[in-house]
Amino acid sequence: RQRAEAAHLGRSLAADQGGRAIGVILSGTASDGVKGMKDIKEAGGITFAQDEATAKYTGMPQSAVAAGAADFVLPPDRIAQELARLARHPFGRLAVAIQAPEMPLKEKDEGTEFNRIIALLKAETGVDFTHYKHSTINRRILRRLALDRVENLADYVAYLETHRPEVKKL
């Protein structure tokens, strides 16, 4: 029953908050919550698992990592630091404005950096994203900015240009 509740919590959070969801797996036994963490990650959220070297019981964090459900694997104090960083990051500011009608990367701000990202995506994938919904692209960019610890669009473009595997991840 407890496992079903953990999976339901993550699934419900992912369904309700989508890309704004953040999941954390700490010390524990079995694989409680792994399905929920996968749901959060698939919805575009960000997930954390406790580093097993710091966990009293490693079953849950190990299961999350083995399943590919953890974006970050850190000790608890670093998880707290990352959560605080995300709260200040554009990704976190989006999370605060749950019903925000606009994305943090507004169309008027989508100048050369945004267009450069679209061009890099087209060169790497062959897909022209210029006609995709800007809000969808913005959410994906914000998630990647948060995961790569990049604070602004100009720095992300530079990062994409020097780390080509990141273009595929985006």
- Token look-up 């630091």 returns 81
| 167 has pLDDT over 90 | yes
pLDDT digit string (tens) for 28-71? Answer: 887 778 899 999 999 989 999 999 999 999 899 999 999 999 99
| 15 has pLDDT over 80 | yes
- Token look-up 């953890």 returns 70
Residue 5, amino acid:
E
pLDDT for res 78: 97
pTM reported for the whole predicted model: 0.75
| 100 has pLDDT over 90 | no
Mean pLDDT of the chain: 83
Pairing verdict, β 72-74 and 22-25: unpaired
Two structure tokens written together for 29: 């036994």
DSSP the chain: -HHHHHHHHHHHHHHHHGGG-EEEE-S-STTTTHHHHHHHHHTT-EEEEE-GGG-SS-HHHHHHHHTT--SEEE-HHHHHHHHHHHHHSHHHHHHH-TT-SS-SS-GGG-SHHHHHHHHHHHHHHS--GGGS-HHHHHHHHHHHHHHTT--SHHHHHHHHHH-HHHHHH-
pLDDT digit string (tens) for 104-141? Answer: 444 444 468 888 899 999 999 999 888 888 778 888 88
